[in-house]
Amino acid sequence: MTRVHTLAAAAERGQFAARRSLLVAFVAAFGGRSLHAQGWPERTIQMIVPYPPGGPTDITARIYAARLEGELHKPFIPENRPGAGGELGALAVARAAADGYTLLFGAVGSLAIHAALPSEHPGYDLTRAFRGVSMGSSTPLAVAVRSGLPVASIQALIELAQSKPSSLTFGSAGNGSSQHMTGEYFQQAAGVKLLHVPYKGSAPAVNDLLGGQIDMVFETLPPLAPHLAGGKLRVLAVTSRERAELLPDIPTLAESGMADFDVSTFYGMLAPHDTPAHVVERLSAAMQKIAAQSDTRAILKQQGARAVATSPDATDALIKAEINKWDRVARLAKLK
């Protein structure tokens, strides 16, 4: 081989080696990261529930956690971190690493209400700190009155309230709760004035309704369900656009003359905002698959809830719509 041919061959080998080095570097910088990310999940996933054990958010979270383990083949561990109406647990997730191993399963209605109240400073922006994954379920609230209140329909209730401004009482799970805010929304839509009585949770409010100490509640179905057949309370309507599966004979507020009234409490999964897109999409697809299963739908129905799964973009849009809704209610009611 001539010296010229030898030099050409060496140059070609050098160019090949250089291209190979660039390819290896590219794979290490980008492809390796993608391959590692595609391995998610590789370990236990923590799902923070920002409310106490046994409540509707906790029950729904555990229904999905058990099924997500089967779908993704890694443990999903619900951890209750209650406090400040869901804000403490949400803040922990907002500050967690955005790697898909720390997730939030919360009551979106309550979190959106807190985002809308002007004096609330939870330490995070709900729409910027989180990326929506999927809703899991929704439940309407019911307008329930004590058995001795002389009304049998929403129109009769409105007429009684108009004749006695600020005399009829409604209990709630506390100031700023979804029950309280739904009551405020009802007053604005109906043109009535009620007297709000805040409690430290739904259970004491329902107990006082059963005992006749308050006139009504705007309450989710699970705390009311055990008492529906007892005759100590009456459900006049539900707040959602569609009738509740648990109470198919009870009309909606929209059917009762309050057009466009539509309130449901949504429970769903959020992730830290910068969680990789493919992780969010995989979680959302698993949630949607689980929500479509008949056993999931049946067990949620027993809780008075309806299985609802949404895409990440639809989840984000729902959260923004909820914040806007409750911001309007809070401003009209001049709530602090």
Which of 57, 60, 63 lies closest to 111 in space, CA to CA? 57
CA distance 102 to 324: 27
105, β-bridge pairs: 269
Do 126 and 269 belong together in one domain? yes
Q: Give the residue, 272 or 115, on which the prediction is more confident.
A: 272
Q: Band of the pLDDT at 197, cuts 50, 70, 90?
A: very high
Which of 105, 64, 100 lies closest to 81 in space, CA to CA? 105
Choosing from 203, 238, 273, the residue where a domain stops is: 238
What size, in residues, is the chain? 336
pLDDT score of 25 more than 60: no
Do 199 and 154 belong together in one domain? yes
| Residue 35 located in a structural domain | no
Least confident of 81-85, 119-123, 197-201, 248-252: 119-123
Give the per-residue pLDDT at 24. 42
296: which 2 tokens? 């999931």
| Residue 12 located in a structural domain | no
Q: Band of the pLDDT at 185, cuts 50, 70, 90?
A: very high
The position carrying tokens 């910088």 is 29
Do 276 and 198 belong together in one domain? no
Which of 332, 318, 252 lies closest to 109 in space, CA to CA? 318
Do 162 and 223 belong together in one domain? yes
Q: What is the arithmetic mean of pLDDT over 191-220?
A: 94
In this structure, the dihedral spanned by the alpha carbons of residues 223, 65, 130 and 322, taken in order and rounded to 10 degrees, is -30
| Residue 14 located in a structural domain | no
| Residue 317 located in a structural domain | yes
Would you call 167 helix, strand, or coil by DSSP? coil
| Residue 253 located in a structural domain | no
| Residue 134 located in a structural domain | yes
Q: What is the arithmetic mean of pLDDT over 285-313?
A: 94
CA distance 37 to 277: 10
**What is the span of the domain harbouring residue 197?**
140-238
CA distance 204 to 83: 18
| Residue 203 located in a structural domain | yes
Do 62 and 120 belong together in one domain? yes
| Residue 298 located in a structural domain | yes
Q: How many CA atoms lie within 13 A of 264 on its CB side?
A: 24
The answer to whether 287 and 245 have CB atoms below 8 angstroms apart is no
User: If you average pLDDT over every residue of the chain, what do you get?
Assistant: 88
Do 228 and 152 belong together in one domain? yes
Do 126 and 201 belong together in one domain? no
- How many domains are there within the chain? 2
The verdict on pTM exceeding 0.75 is yes
**Buried b or exposed e, range 209-247, using 16+ CB within 10 angstroms:** bbeeebbbbbbbbbbbeebbeeebbbbbbbbbeebbbbb
Q: Band of the pLDDT at 65, cuts 50, 70, 90?
A: very high
